[in-house]
Amino acid sequence: MTPKTMKKLGILFFGILILSSCESQFDQFPETQVAESPSLFKNAASLKTFTDGFYNNLDHNSIKDDKYSDNMEHITTPPAMRSSNYTLPTALGSGGWSWGELRNLNYFIQNVNEHTEDTQLKQQNLAIAKFFRAWFYFKKVRTFGDVPWYSRPLTTTDEEELYKPRDPRVVVMDSVMQDLDYAVTYLGESTSKNKITRWTALALQSRIALFEGTYRLYHKEAQLADAEKFITKARDAAKELMDSKKYSIFTTGNKATDYAAMFQEAEAPTSEVILARSSTQNFIYYTPEFTSTSNGNYGATFSLISDYPMLSGSSYYQDNGGDIEDKTYFHEFQNRDYRLSQSVVFPGYIRIGTTEKAVNDFAENRTGYQVTKRVGPPIEDQGSDSRDVILIRYAEVLLNYAEAQAILGNLTQVDLDATVNVLRDRAGVKQKLTFPLQTDQLQLSRYKRTTDPAVLEVCRERRIELAFEGLRRDDLIRWNEGHLFRTEYHGIYIPGFNKLIDLDHDGSPDLYVIKSTENAPTDRVSGVQYFKLSPVNALSNGESGRLVPYKNTKLPFQPWEYINPIPLEELTLNQNLTQNPGWENL
């Protein structure tokens, strides 16, 4: 078999997988049998069976993507975007350069256009497929930049299309927006966390347009026009969803628990959740990533912890006169925004499913800030769970709107009260953000793209509210803040080696930190963790300071690293493809 034949077969590979129902159970097989015939596309039940298969492309593991950002640090070996230890993908279809999902979508769109006779049925099904095609192409553009745009399924005779060069990013993203416009127009008005609706399309459009608009705005080196057009589109899509009054911020009135409770529900609250992945079977391996000594590898960073405001509403940084580097773990959690204690282990923490107080387990992470958001009871420590995975929620839409308005220079007090102040109120923060916004030196020194206090403060709220939901890496990419992938991440403050430390101030020591070259004492104290640093760990000041999980020198981040490389075999097979700049010399 020749390489070209193999390529054609790879592109043309298509099977209709009867995998899962999409309303509340992704793991049940539908009874309807699907066959490739025109009659399939005339029957509502058959069309539903086909579109149900699209939902299997919803990536529930994407909520774990904060581990690729400055919100989290690995126990010893950070990801490639942080360490710059890259390996070029080689095989056809590897590294994310795969197109089977698109073939399936375009096949469906073509046949619905040709064979579905009922106009409303046609429009609704085309809208579903175009929604998924838009999301598919957004992820491709986000990953590779320019990509080939295909709006129909290809055949073996389509030589020119099969081996064409990549289409410009601007062309592809305009087509993505057109697909989403169609979805917004023809999808249903009802709400559903497990079905794509008009409101899901508006939420996704807001997310994608904000990514693209801010990417074009802040990445001057890319020389991409129409940034404002996309940012305005993001704002308008978010505002349309907000004005519909279909969603609200989930609350029971318990500010100390509501935020965390939303992620512990077996069925996510539909008042706020716009899209979730659901199943009656265990399907996501989540809890062990934070609680297992063999799998629990990531802890939250001091950078993130320092961003949470005081319950009074003031900046933690400013409240401490900028002197926060040597504040103890206990101090950091006093009178802070309730989202902090609902996201990581805090003094007095009792894990769900247990009755005893616990502190950070240093065998599971090396920052001292153990993640608890969405983490389940101990029964999940070695396996998966079946709780809903929240993929899009209303809080993100509010933050999209606020950021877009801030960038456009149109943010008002009315906007703040309808967006970030609603989120702060749920978290028990007493003082509203008031216009004109002020920021602190912590934000001004951390970010390079802007000094606008309105933008920086809205984005600080975004980081806090959406922490550990998988969006932070994309935010750093679109903001052109790649240097934050390479800064030295820190954990809790340690006053020194070989000292008994009472982390939670309950009168009993919890921790004893040992150099990597030394051994634990023989006269150990019961209940104390004897934490020996690994060779890549350190304390920021040498003999004391904040935990440094990864002390090795890191290369400066380069602009070409924002876009991933194309697999080498793809370049060999299609001479019209060229490698993304920077990767050819790796």
Is the pLDDT score of 411 beyond 70?
Answer: yes
Report yes or no: 502 and 494 within 8 Å, Cβ to Cβ: no
Is the pLDDT score of 30 beyond 70?
Answer: no
Q: How far is CA 298 from CA 25, 65, 71, 377, 528, in A?
A: 30, 11, 10, 18, 21
Averaged pLDDT, 46-69: 96
Is the pLDDT score of 3 beyond 60?
Answer: no
* Other C-beta atoms lying within 10 Å of the C-beta of residue 158: 16
Instruction: Pinpoint the alpha helices (H) of 297-419.
Output: 302-305, 316-319, 329-332, 338-341, 394-408, 413-418
Is the pLDDT score of 312 beyond 50?
Answer: yes
| pLDDT for res 77 | 87
Beta bridge mates, 500: 512
Is the pLDDT score of 141 beyond 90?
Answer: yes
Q: 45-55 burial, b for 16+ CB within 10 Å, e for fewer?
A: ebbbbbbbbbb
Tell me what the pLDDT averaged over the chain comes to: 93
Percent of the chain with pLDDT over 70: 94
| pLDDT for res 17 | 33
**In this structure, what DSSP letter does residue 371 have?**
B
pLDDT (tens digit per residue) in 92-125: 999 999 999 999 999 999 999 999 999 999 999 9
Averaged pLDDT, 36-55: 92
Collapsing DSSP to helix, strand or coil, 414 comes out as helix
Q: How far is CA 13 from CA 8, 46, 103, 575, in A?
A: 8, 21, 8, 22
| pLDDT for res 426 | 98
- Chain position carrying tokens 């107080």: 357
| pLDDT for res 296 | 66
Q: By C-alpha distance, which of 23, 27, 9 is closest to 51?
A: 23
| pLDDT for res 25 | 28
Angle made by CA atoms 112, 118, 121, in degrees to the nearest 5: 65
Averaged pLDDT, 193-218: 98
pLDDT (tens digit per residue) in 366-393: 999 999 999 999 999 989 999 999 999 9
| pLDDT for res 8 | 44
Averaged pLDDT, 176-188: 98
pLDDT (tens digit per residue) in 491-531: 999 999 999 999 999 999 999 999 999 999 999 999 999 99
Distance CA 540, CA 46 (A): 61
Distance CA 414, CA 435 (A): 9
Averaged pLDDT, 61-67: 97
Distance CA 458, CA 421 (A): 10
| pLDDT for res 585 | 82
Q: DSSP E strands: which ranges in 118-252?
A: none
Report yes or no: 58 and 391 within 8 Å, Cβ to Cβ: yes
- The model's pTM is 0.93
Instruction: Pinpoint the alpha helices (H) of 409-532.
Output: 413-418, 420-426, 441-446, 453-465, 472-478
